[in-house]
Homo-oligomer: A and B are copies of this chain.
């Protein structure tokens, strides 16, 4: 399978490296507007065709699949062109800049019977797979609450707010882990250092089955933190992606209510903690392998067009709320 990559900036080189390591896959071409980046791509991947204009890459008949790793604003146009040229397409998150664009991509992919996948990277991380396994087998009980802290210094985007850059990870995780419908979203935040787009946001998401999620994302934190708490009615879980070893901790903790008077707290349950072993392979390797596999088997990706549209719809609503005093938006 010959694959073309559009965009060799921040994330493109990682995609190139991972694609290149899949047996039977050839990174056939790279397109980037910057000559320095094309040069870098050529040095690391000798024998790859290099293009200034992505249209030329898309036009090549020997390329079966196209990976789009460009700024968000161009996802729609490039994805559309590739799908219409009959390519299978993997697009960096978010799928598109608006829900309307994302839906159009899905439609075209269906019409052309092409694979359309969005790179919701964390869905392919070993730790997240393990959490899904724990939830699916009922280890945590019914999930009631999800609280995520995802903060660091930069990298500031000039075109989109921190919601599109960081909160999308939590929306994708909620999709994959809880498989419930998003009912509402609201967001507060701001541009606290005069940086043009919002660098801080706090989202509250209502989900089916009376569950709630909260997401705190920021580019203006002195420290990098990734802490996700998932509260079930049986157990609680802490997921810290920065922990080298114990990324997931499952706590046998909870509250015990009085049997006769349900709302009356009787006691706390504080039992053992358990950190299951987690597969430590790079998540992006899983993304690339899954894309290649879907292309070969003509299968629907786990993070396909539908998931891409839904997450963009949620982000769009969150962004609207953020600019309208945190008003609740029904989805």
Contacts and interface: CB of A to CB of B under 8 A. Distances in A.
Interface stretch (A1-9, A50-58, A270-278, A299-307): A270-278
Interface stretch (A71-79, A91-99, A106-114, A192-200): A192-200
A218 B255 contact: no
A132 interface: no
A288 to B, nearest CB: 17
Contacts of A227: 225
Contacts of A257: 194-195
Contacts of A145: 190, 192, 200, 220
Given A47-B46, A188-B204, A194-B257, A274 B277 contact: no
Nearest to A216: B216
A273 B246 contact: yes
Interface stretch (A116-124, A167-175, A261-269): A261-269
A306 B227 CA distance: 37
A162 to B, nearest CB: 12
B222 A249 contact: yes
User: What interface size band does chain A fall in?
Assistant: 35 or more
A226 B202 CA distance: 18
A36 interface: no
Given A47-B46, A194-B262, A274 B271 contact: no
Contact of A202 (B204, B231, B238, B268): B204
A147 B200 CA distance: 10
Interface string A155-194: 0101000000000000000000000000000101110111
B156 A255 contact: yes
